[in-house]
Each structure stands twice: as C-alpha cells, then as structure tokens.
Chains A and B, each alone.
Chain A
Amino acid sequence: MLYSSILLIFIVFSVSANSINKHQYISMLEKHNHISYSKIVNSRGIYTVPMCYAKTKDKFTHTVSNSCYICHTKGSRPNYNNDASLQQKYSFPIQMIKNPFLNIFKDHKKEIKKIDDKMILKYVRDSNYFDKNGSITLSNVLPNKWKGYVPDCYFNFDADGFDKTLKGKYTLWRAYRYYPVAGMFWPTNGSSDDVMIRLSKVFSKDYGNVFDIDVYKLNLAIVEAVVKQKDISLENPVNEKKYGVDINQNGILDIAKIVKLNSYEKMSYVGQAKSLLNKKMIHLALGLFPEGTEFLHSVRYLDWNDKEKHVTMAAHMKELRYAKKKSWKSYSDLEREARKELYENNTVSIFRGNYEEGLRNEMGWVYQGFIEDRDGLLRPQTHEETISCMGCHSHLGSTTDSIFSFTRKFEGTEKKSENYGWNHWSQKGLIGVKEAKVYYENLGTKFEYSFYLKNNLSSSAFRNNTEADKKFFTQKKQLKRSMIQKLHNDISLLLLPSKERALKLNKAYKVLVTEQSYIYGRYANIETIQNVFDNFNTSTTTGIIKPIIRR
C-alpha cells in the first residue's frame, strides 16, 4: 500500500528526481515484494540456467539431444574460454548438484486457467517502461543517488535505428536486428526481445570535438568490423579524406564502401575516438568492444497482431537488461582469466559487485538489470537475481567479448532488405528473415537453426515445445524436409508461436511475477518440465560423444 501510494505520487506529480533515498526505496521494494536485495535466499549458483539441467538422453527413444553446444563451445580468440567439455558432462560444483530452479518443476496450468486471454493481452500491451506522459518511469522512480544505470532509451527510433528523445535529441542508443540465439531466445520458447548498442560519447565527436552523427555511424561500422573480425559493408560510401583513416585498407585515402578488416595496428576509429586511440586512452583490438560500450536488452511478453495474424513484441517488459564495458582487458588478461578455469576446482563462481552498480565479469563488463515487481512495474533486480545474468555473460565459449547478439547482427545495408541490420524489431520484424549459415568444425557450413533442430531433435532444450516440434518433426521424430526448406527462407515459421501458445507462455510467466519467485527460475513453463534432472550424481554424462564446435 505504502509503496503503491508513494509510487503514485511520483507518477502523478512527476516529482522531480526522486526524493526518497536509496535505503527507503530498497526497503519499500523488499517489503512489497517479499524479497531481499542483499541476501542470497536460494543459491549463489543460479548463474547457471535451468537448461543446464536438461536431460539429454531420451527415456523413450534412447536418442541423445545436444542443445548444449549453443552456449558451451570453444571460443574464438580473444574469447579464450573453452567449455566444450560441458557438452559431454554435467560438471557442477557440489553445491549445484541439486537443481535450484524449483519453478520448472511446477505445473502452472491451474494458475494459467485463472487468467483470461483479454486480461493477459491488456497486461502485455500496457507499457511498464513509460508512464502516461511518455517519460521513462524508472528514471522518475529510481532514487537520486542511484549509482547504477538509469534507463534513458526512448525506443523512438529513426530510419537508421537511432534512438531520439521526445525532443528529437540523439540518445546514441542504436537498435539492431539479429538472429536470436537458437532455442532459448526464440519467441516460441517464451519471450521476444530487442537489443540496442551505444558507444561512449567520444565516438560521436569529430576531430573538433563536435557532435557528428556520421562520425558515430562510421565508428559503429568500424566497431562492427573489429568485433566480428570481418569486413563490413557501409550503407553509404565514405570519403576517407574527411576522416584521415584508410577505412577500406587499400593504401590510399579515397572513397570507402567497406570497413576492411586488418590487424589492430592498421585499423582505427574516426574523429575524437581516433585521437584518444592514438593517445592510448582507449583501445582497439579485434574481437573486443572499446571501453565505455553499453548494451540495453529488453525481454518482453508476446503480443498478437490481429491484423497481420502473427506474434509481435509486446510493449510490456519482463526485464530490462543492461551491460557496460567499464574496463579494458587485453588478450593476455583474457587468456589468463580463461585458463584459470583449468586449475580452479569445481566451485561456485563468484561475481564481484552489487545489485545497484551491477556485477562484474572478467572481461571488464558490468551487468545489471530491472525486472517486474509483483504489480508488473520495473524494479532493480536483487543481488541474487543479478547473478542470473552472469553465467551466460562470463565463462562461455559462445560469446564475443561476453556479448551474444552483436556478432549475430544482420549486415544488410539496404533499408528495404529483409536483413537490414540497423532497425528495431518494431520497425522490421522476423517475418521473411532467411536462415543464417554457420561453420562448424569438422562438419562444415550448415543452416544454423535447422542444424539445431537436427542435433537437439526438438525446438527447445527441454523438448517440451510440442507446437513447434509438431510443425518440424514427424511422429517418428524425423525432421520434415519440406518444413526445413521453408525455414531456410523464413525463420519466423519456427520462431513465432501461435496466438494460443503465446498467451499461455505469457500467463505462465505472469505467475512467476505474482510470486516474485525469479530466483527459482524465470523459465515460462506451462506445465512441469519432464526432461530435466532435479538431482544427479557427478558421474552422470550427457551421452554426447563428439562436441559440436562453432567457428
């Protein structure tokens, strides 16, 4: 009650900058949601995800499913992590042998029945990010001296994907489209999401220290080439003379149509960032983002577009996740951190930091997030909830500088093309997006999602998405060739669920919101998950003999 009324005061009177102090704010949230911000209530080990406990051996068919390779693989330099062995064995610290994600063992059918379709559709269509005046609720609610991230993206994107304030000022956030990580990030398995990137301000300044959106745009393309370690086509030709940088690496300053990959010494940012690079105040290394880079990732419910008859991204956020690269780590630093895993006993990982400023990983990043409170408003995650970010954004071989989505960004430069990269999903969705091809060691180039289905023998890690499985597999668990052919041309056939399933998934997750039980798992399971261990002994193997290594 107290909480709601105080919040109401904030919203109604738009109290300028948040007059309650941090302590009051946090204790109010603790009371209202029956949570603890500092204490570990369930387990410090919930940086793993429920999928890590998936049973890979099928009880009935005796087949072996491999969805593990999506995360656990040999990293590409400078990701020196190599956790491919986790495809083969369930290697948990002793404290984690018992599955801490109790929520996935619950059957939510009863609770789901109590929520009617209209109610859930209304819920997911109500924004919990903006208030009625269009200002960002959290930025009004967070206390004055909040040391962590204060949301400042307006989700107001221009044709180039740049975000602008209501007054039309660039926030420097830029949205991009990407191939969702196979399985867990497909809307058919629970949520829709979007990602924005922002480089530090210097990347938007020209040599005279004046803001120039073209400088920023070019720097983003350079960062894309550097991080992906590949050539990147430019949307518009660039006059290199203007920047004094040989962007296409042809030895002369002329008109560049691509950012050509070269060694780190031969590449450079442009504008003010170039000056700082020359002074060694910022860095450039292949496979790494420059310091100060930020990511914003909203995870959302599934909405239904009545007109076009397909699932879309909802206005209502389940979570708002944030990452910032706070410090530079060289290849040598990164290699040392990664190799420590060889010698460290199998113990529960520790991530330094706190709920307010976020938790740090060894790559120099800080991760932090906001999640729904019991009323559906966004609140900062507790310390324990923040730990949930860290398993995926730390020791995995599958990330690039601990980020998933950016190397998966579309590279199309034509605004009309299905694979145009710099747009928000709300500007251009998943329909008609062609399937990506990926190279796997010893196996060659494969269609990424088809390959996942083939190896996992299902569309989800728990093999519990009967809707998509029915669409893509015969009763004998054989892949339907005709569907795979169609999938190559339109990934939405696999990724988007039916309205019925979407609403069920929304409801299943809403149950967790009401319970505020995220520390026991955030997976939107409609019923009890079967293909999962609740407990197992350390010698249990996955049955996967040859790990799949993505290059």
Chain B
Amino acid sequence: MKFLFITATMIISTVLFNGCSMHQNNTSIKNISSIEFSPITISTNETEKKTMRVSKKLSVKYTDGTIKNYKLSYKNFLKMGDKIGLNTIGLMTDKNGNSLKNLDGSEDISIAPDGNSLINVAKQSYLITHMEESPGSIYKTEVTVANGRLEAINTASIDFSAMNGTIVNCASTKTTYGSHLSGEEDYAFNSIYADKNSPFFIDCALDGSGSDTQGVLNEFCYSIDQMSKYLGKRDLDKNNGYNGSEFMLYNYGYTIEVQPQADGSTKSARHYVTGKYTPELALMMPNQKTIYMTDDGIAKGLWKFVSDDKIKEFQAEWSGTLYSAKVDQVSAVNGGSFKLRWIKLGHASDSEVKKMIDAKMKLTDIFSITKPDDKGNCTTGFRKIYEDDKMECLNLKKGRKKEAAFLESRKYAAYKGATTEFIKEEGLTYNVDNNKLYVAMSTIEKSMEDNYKGLEPRNDIKLEKNSCGAVYELTLDTDYSATKMEAIVIGRALNATDMYADEWYCSPEKIANPDNLLYIGHNTLLISEDTTKHVNNMTWAYNTKTKKMTRIASLPIGAEVAGVDKGIVDNKAFLFLNIQHPFKDNPEAQDNSKPNSKLIEDATDEQLKAIVGYIDGIPAEVLQ
C-alpha cells in the first residue's frame, strides 16, 4: 500500500510538473471516482460564436481523494482533401477504386466526414472515417502519435466492390471486439418508388442527371444515378424494380462491418440480418449477441437483432432474429415514458437475405400496395401502415414473410403492429456501469405527436411537440432486451420573453436536437447536437448520477458535431469530434428569425472547411 501510494504521488508530481503532459504510466493507474469537465460559457460575442471552444480543464477525482487537473484543447487533425501518404482522404472513387473524375478532369472530394472509429490492431492504429454520401465511402487512415499529436501516415478508401458499394455512411460504433459498425443511412431507396406497380413509382431518366423523365430533379433518381456512377453500369430495369446486373435496390440500407487486419488489409461485410430501413447506426451489447439499431427520418422504427451465437470476432456471416419495438405509452410528461415490447419479424442469415436480393426482387413480389383513399381508408384485405412519412395500404403475399422481414423491415414491422412513429432517431450508446442504453431523438414532433395528420393507423406515441428533442434511457433486462424507455434529458423551446430568446430557439441551458451519443465511463454521457436551434452546436457532458449537465464543446456557428468517438493510441487518449459544415446552417431565434445571418454571410472559404479533430489532453486512464 505504502509503496503504491508513493508511486502514485510521484506520478502525480510528474504530471503536475510537466504541466499536464499527456504521457501516463499504465502502472500508476489508480481508481477514478469521478471526472468533471470545466464548463464553457454560452457564446455571447462574435469571436465565441465563430470559433471552436472546448472545456479548458478536466478534473479527475481518484478514490483516494486526490484530484488532478488536465489541460484540454481542440486539435485539428485533418480535413477532407488532405493528401495523406499516397492518397487523398475524402476522394470519391468508383467500384474499381478509380477516382470518380468529372468531365472537366476534376476529382470529387467529399465534404461530409461523419462517423469515426479509432481502432487498434496489433501494433497499428487506424482511424475509420465515414463519408455521408451517395455512393458512400469509408476511409481507413493509419495513425500514430508523434510529438504528442496524432499524425496520419497514410489513408485509403476501403474497397466495398465485392458488396457493390455502400451508401450514406452515417454514424458508427465499435463492437466489443473492436471492429467498426456503420449505418447505411439511406433515405432514398424506399422500394415504393422503384416498383412500377406501386402508386408511388418514380420514372427516372437514368441519364446521370438525377432527374425523372419529366426533367425534374428527384432524390430517388439522384441516388440511383450516383450508385450507377459508382458501379459503372446503367443497365437498370425500370420494369423490374430498377434491378440491374449489379445494382439492386434491396442491397442498400443495412449495417456494414469493417475490421482492419494485422496485415494491413481490411475485412468488411454487410449484415443484412440487421434489416433494411434508414439505419443511423448499430450498437453491440456486451453479451455479443444483441445489437440495437436506430432509424433516421419521419415515421421510423426502433430495431433489435439477436444473434444465434455470440459474435466474438469479425465474421462475414451473421444469423439471428430481427425484432422491432412496440411501445405502450405510460406517460406523456417531459418527453414521455413507455413500456417496450419486441415484435419478432423473422430469423435469417446474411447469406439467406443476400440470396433474396440477388434474385432481383421488387416490392410487389412481397406486398401488394395501394394508396389509401381520400378518407384515408384501405380496401378490404389491405392494412394501412405509416412509415417513412407515407401512408400505404399493404397486403402481404403468401410465403413472403422472410422477404418482408429483412427486405421490407419497416413496412413489415408496421404491418405486424410495431411502432413506426419515431422521428429522427440518432445516436445510441451503452452505459456499462448501470446497464442502460441511451437513444437520441433529435426532435419530438410530427409522427411522435398525438395522431399526426389525423391519419396514424396506430398512434402509439402521443406526445406534445418539442422541437428541441430528447435523449431517452432504455432499461435493459439481463438478456440486454429493452423493457422501458424514458426521456432523461430534454430540450426546451424558449418563450418570447425568456432570456436568450433573441438569438436562441431552444434554451442554451439545455440540449437542442441531440445526435451523437457516447458514454465514456465515469457516469459521463456525451450528448452532441445537430441543430439550427442553438446559435452554436454543442457537446454536453451529462452526469448520469447527479444529472448535472456541462457544456464541453461549442462549435463554430453553422457546424454540426459529428464523428464522436474515443480511442487510445500509444497510451494517449483522443476524444474525436468532427466539425461538420461550419458556417453553413443559419441558426434561428425563438421567433424563427435568423439574427446571426451576418456571421454566416461573412464566412471565408477557409472557415467553410469541415474538420476532423479531437479534444486533446484527456488522460488515457479516463477513456480506457
């Protein structure tokens, strides 16, 4: 004991002496009892609004009662278009890995870095970074620590040609065994638009312009054109659900797994068994069997996959059962609380689902579909469902349950009575200290309001509108199955006479439109925003025990917080936090005016660049 104490004291003095130098000695680890970020102020002047500000200090309290303070700062790590080693990060490529050059010879560089995972394999460390694009793209950047800073050695886009590419890679998590899970947040490829027998069919020109045959730009046609560009083929059959020799609409909108290997190569797989919808991300539970997925957009579901066996390492083939949540509202107060049940949709393996896709199926092979009549009713034999902000009348075809479960997960979930009334489900994170799961609901409105549009067939969720959003806590049973859902942190829209109402729509003392969530241990849940309702998007540290909220980052105006992840390289900790689209969004005040337009107007081209960066100075022991 005495010896240990002396060692610890020595280490503390060393740290203090070094002016909070970063290198921690593993042998010295003492138990941490709590951590506390110093709060940053609400931006008031132009400089504060325009700059990236993070907590200046992290106080770490140890079980022996000692407190150490660590100096924090934000470090820009890289930006899209940087040449790293032989390649350019963010460069969009086709199926063969060639730069997607335009007709003027220009290269296409992504401006939308999103999910990050810092992954250690053998002695190497990699930063996996998403491009939220159509086609999608994920870069793997080898990193190292030099002179106390993270440095990129080389980068390359991960080859997804074997799975015919990926799309809109949004948020990410790491599995328990250290691989990367990516959500293919695809909004466009709802099969109702692709099937000629569907009343929602869109007739695309397929000329690469993203337009329909009338010449009108359309998101569905644009996404189809972009994927064709990636695949280098335009042989799509409009009479058969736009299926082509390589493009199949049912191939996109799942969870992608990426695992860097010790030999420098990368393994990847698309896990079809997690279901097709608009996955923001997927999160594996410690039992290595249960995985939760969120679904972004209006009128969406909440998803759970339970693997047949433990998944202990990367494997291309998963098999298990897919479930969709059904909520019973208990209370409508403060963001509401719900009982949760799970409706079983089906059991399959990845290869089984892949086979169905390769058979070039389309919606009406699975469901008959019509639109509700003027009164909102469906003809006999059809069930009315609400998904993706559309009312549809569906009739499941015989023998198509499995296809429905995995290729039309949201439709089938709604068809079977699950709740598809969530809106803009975003981040997911797990609290290992109390076995809770957290889900960010960007906003509470529309499909989460009481009988939105007066047409909701189920109306499971009946909440009051709160356009500032909420973070929900899900209580898990011993099987990691969620049984209860309750709002724990909610935003508040300001009233006209409130303080701050002249510049802020949502109270700056509370969250607005939460997005990325990351539980970093020590009862600390990081909540990051993607909002136009705060002057600056912020990251908050929420103490899950004391309920205390601390502002720890305030981004340049107009930027969204993205790619929040923690990782350790060379015993040095990094808390990643991307500055996405700075000076682009124009924040609104309580009266919907935009009092900071001038700042947005004054932005220079340099200020408009997206940054991948990290909070520096957190000791490794805190993020371990």
Contact = CB atoms under 8 A, between A and B. Distances in A.
List the 5 closest A-B pairs by CB distance, nearest first.
A330-B106, A331-B102, A285-B104, A82-B217, A549-B215
B214 A84 contact: yes
Interface stretch (A71-79, A131-139, A431-439, A454-462): A71-79
B215 A82 contact: yes
Interface in A324-371: 327, 330-333, 335-336, 339, 341-343, 347-348, 350-354, 359
B103 A331 contact: yes
A306 interface: no
Interface in B180-211: 209-211
Contact of B104 (A78, A94, A546, A549): A78
A74 B221 CA distance: 14
Nearest to B104: A285
B600 A331 contact: no
A85 B217 contact: yes
Interface residues of A, number: 44
A17 to B, nearest CB: 28
Contacts of A549: 214-215
A74 B213 CA distance: 11
Interface in B205-253: 209-211, 214-217, 219, 222
A336 B597 contact: no
Given A264-B103, A441-B215, 13 more contacts: A40-B597, A78-B103, A82-B216, A285-B104, A285-B106, A288-B104, A330-B104, A331-B106, A332-B108, A343-B219, A350-B600, A547-B214, A549-B214
A519 interface: no
B603 interface: yes
Contacts of A77: 103, 209
Nearest to A364: B605
14 contacts: A44-B597, A73-B215, A77-B209, A94-B592, A283-B104, A285-B105, A286-B103, A330-B106, A331-B103, A332-B102, A335-B102, A336-B108, A339-B210, A341-B217
A265 interface: yes
Given A77-B103, A330-B104, A547 B594 contact: no
B215 A74 contact: yes
A357 B140 CA distance: 42
B420 to A, nearest CB: 22
Interface in A223-271: 264-265
A547 B210 contact: no
Contacts, number: 92
B117 to A, nearest CB: 24
A94 B586 CA distance: 14
Interface in A422-452: 441
A95 B603 CA distance: 23
A353 B604 CA distance: 9
Contacts of B103: 77-78, 264, 286, 331
A286 B104 contact: yes
A264 B601 contact: no
Given A74-B211, A342-B222, A547-B216, A352 B602 contact: yes
Contact of B211 (A82, A94, A95, A352): A82
Contacts of B210: 82, 339, 342
B105 A265 contact: yes
B428 interface: no
B493 interface: no
A352 to B, nearest CB: 5
Contacts of B602: 352, 354
Contacts of B106: 285, 330-333
Interface string B581-624: 00000100000101001101111010000000000000000000
A299 to B, nearest CB: 25
A335 B210 CA distance: 11
A84 B216 contact: yes
Contact of B586 (A73, A339, A350): A350
Contacts of B597: 40, 44, 350
Interface in A292-339: 327, 330-333, 335-336, 339
A332 B216 contact: no
A73 B102 CA distance: 22
Nearest to B558: A350
A95 B592 contact: yes
B109 interface: yes
B107 interface: yes
B111 interface: yes
A83 B601 CA distance: 23
Contact of B222 (A330, A339, A347, A348): A339
A415 B319 CA distance: 78
Contacts of B217: 74, 82-85, 341-342
A88 interface: yes
A352 B605 CA distance: 10
B109 A347 contact: no
A288 B106 CA distance: 13
Given A82-B216, A85-B216, A350 B209 contact: no
Contacts of B215: 73-74, 82, 84, 441, 547, 549
Nearest to B208: A77
Interface in B57-114: 102-109, 111
Contact of A352 (B111, B222, B601): B601
A350 B102 contact: no
A330 B214 contact: no
Contacts of A332: 102, 106-109
Nearest to A351: B601
A95 B605 CA distance: 27
Interface centre among B107, B219, B598, B602 (most CB of A within 10 A): B598
Given A84-B217, A265-B105, A352 B592 contact: no
Contacts of A44: 594, 597
A359 B107 CA distance: 27
Interface in B97-148: 102-109, 111
A331 B100 CA distance: 12
A183 B102 CA distance: 35
A167 B111 CA distance: 51
Interface centre among B592, B598, B601 (most CB of A within 10 A): B601
Interface in B36-71: none
B109 to A, nearest CB: 7
Given A82-B217, A85-B216, A85-B217, A348 B594 contact: yes
Nearest to A265: B105
B112 to A, nearest CB: 9
A258 B209 CA distance: 31
A285 B105 CA distance: 9
Contacts of B105: 264-265, 285
Contacts of B109: 332
Contacts of B107: 332
A331 B211 contact: no
Nearest to B222: A342
A340 to B, nearest CB: 9
Nearest to A337: B111
Nearest to B99: A332
A397 to B, nearest CB: 9
A78 B103 CA distance: 9
Contacts of A353: 601
Interface centre among A83, A288, A352 (most CB of B within 10 A): A352
A356 B598 CA distance: 14
B104 A350 contact: no
Interface in A64-116: 73-74, 77-78, 80, 82-85, 88, 94-95
B247 to A, nearest CB: 19
Contacts of B222: 339, 342
